[in-house]
Amino acid sequence: MREPGVCRFPQSARASGGRENYTMKKLLIGYQTAVDGLEKACMAVAIVLTGLLFLVSAYEIIANQVVGNSPVWVEEVSNLFFAWAVFIGAGVIARHGGHIGVELLYEMVGPSLQSALKAGYTLLTLVVVFVMVYFGWKMALFVGKYQTSLYLDISLFYYYLSVPVGGVLLGLFSVAAALPDPREQADLTQTAGV
C-alpha cells in the first residue's frame, strides 16, 4: 500500500545515489534512445539519396553512350543529392567516431586526460556546429533569395540548407557520443554474471 506524501523510486536508484542520479540516468537513456531513432532515420535518408545519386549518374552515362549527349539537369540533381547525403551522414559518423582523429595521442595518455581530450574535442565540434548552423543558415537565406539552378530553376536555398541541417545533426550526434550511455553499462552488468 502506498503511503500518502511518500515518493517511491526503484531500489536501483536508491542504491546508486538517489533520486538525482536516477533522473539523470533516465534523461540520458531518453536522449540516447531518441538519437538512436534519429540515426536510423538519417541513415535511411542518406542511403536513399546515395541510391538516387547512383541512378541519376548511371542514367547520365547510359544517355551519353546511347544518344551521344547527356541531359543537362543531371549535374544539378547530383549535386543536390550529394550535398544532402554527405551532411546527413557526417553526423552519424561523428557519433561512432568515424571522423579523422588523433587516436595515438588519445591512447598514450591516462584516463583522466582522455576525458579532458574527449571534452575538448566535443567543445571544438560544437564550435564547428555553431559556424555551420549560423553561417550556413545565413548563406542559404541569402543565396536562396537571389539564385536558382541554371536548368531546373530550383532555388539554391535547398542546396545550401544541407549545411545548417547537417550542423544540427552533427551537434546532436556529437553530444550523444560524448555523453555516457547507461544502457551500455546495464548490458555489461547483465552479461558479467553469465
Report residue 23 as a C-alpha cell.
533522473
Burial class (CB in 10 A: 0-12, 13-18, 19+), 87: buried
Q: pLDDT by residue (tens digit) across 97-153?
A: 776 666 777 778 888 888 888 888 889 999 999 999 999 999 999 999 999 999 999
In a domain, 113, yes or no: yes
In a domain, 78, yes or no: yes
In a domain, 192, yes or no: no
Average pLDDT of span 51-65:
95
pLDDT value of residue 118: 84
Nearest by Cα to 168 from 59, 90, 52: 90
In a domain, 5, yes or no: no
Q: How confident is the model at residue 19 (pLDDT cuts 50, 70, 90)?
A: confident
Q: pLDDT by residue (tens digit) across 35-52?
A: 999 999 999 999 999 999
In a domain, 110, yes or no: yes
pLDDT of 85 > 60? The answer is yes
pLDDT of 81 > 70? The answer is yes
In a domain, 152, yes or no: yes
In a domain, 190, yes or no: no
Contact 60, 138 (CB under 8 A): no
State phi, psi for 70 to the nearest 5 degrees. -90, 150
| Domains identified in the chain, total number | 1
pLDDT value of residue 169: 97
Q: 43 is in which domain, residue-wise?
A: 11-180
Q: pLDDT by residue (tens digit) across 152-189?
A: 999 999 999 999 999 999 999 999 988 888 888 665 55
In a domain, 73, yes or no: yes
pLDDT value of residue 114: 84
